[in-house]
Chains A and B, each alone.
Chain A
């Protein structure tokens, strides 16, 4: 079945550091890929997505490129801020049944940014 693997952390960085959170996946067909962010006490919010190979999703300074050859979708940001502290989830939709059966999520990476 489908699966998503990401580092769980916590990942602790200083403000203005470069961020990479690795995500690799296993899926049938040609999945769409997503990054979600969860702030304390809230639900998950879509951060960015990519729907085909070599697509780059970007939002709020975060980027991720859909790499089919390495089955990866790593999240990057050039200069993190304290406000980026949150839990980040990588997810995929394999498109089977038109996406009706939802997304498969990784276990989440807890990111802590220190001033």
Chain B
């Protein structure tokens, strides 16, 4: 398995509170991604990073921000959590080639009450 660790694995939080999810990789891959998985929607891209301090928005970026200060760490922050952000969040990494597959972490299940 690719060396990807997501933390925490589970979190319950209240509406309006800030939440940060962490993704840590040991593969030294350039690209990192945050996806959310919801029934009926499959996986949708939130944000991605193509290098340290280089990030861009994905399909469903509203309400989320990211930071990448080191190659190995990619943080996803919900500034003020809402119930619509209850989901399973997956981090993924890939090498610097167009046909490179993504390697996924085991996910963080977030519940916003």
Q: Taking beta carbons and an 8 Å cutoff, which residues of A are in contact with B?
A: 8, 32, 34, 41-46, 49, 51, 89, 93, 95, 97-103, 105-108
B54 to chain A, nearest CB (A): 9
Taking Cβ atoms with an 8 Å cutoff, the residues of B that contact A are 4, 31, 33, 35, 40-45, 48, 50, 56, 58, 90, 92, 94, 96-107
Closest chain A residue, CB of each to CB of B57: A101
Given known pairs A34-B101, A105-B42, A105-B43, the reply for A43 and B96 (CB within 8 Å) is: no
Nearest B residue (CB) for A51: B99
Q: What are the 9 closest A-B residue pairs judged by CB atoms, nearest first?
A: A43-B104, A95-B98, A99-B98, A107-B42, A32-B99, A100-B50, A105-B43, A46-B101, A51-B99
How far, in angstroms, from A107 to B56 measured CA to CA in the complex?
A: 23
Given the interface contacts A43-B104, A45-B104, does A100 sit within 8 Å of B97 by beta carbon?
A: no
A43 and B42 in contact (CB under 8 A), knowing A99-B97, A99-B98, A102-B92?
A: no
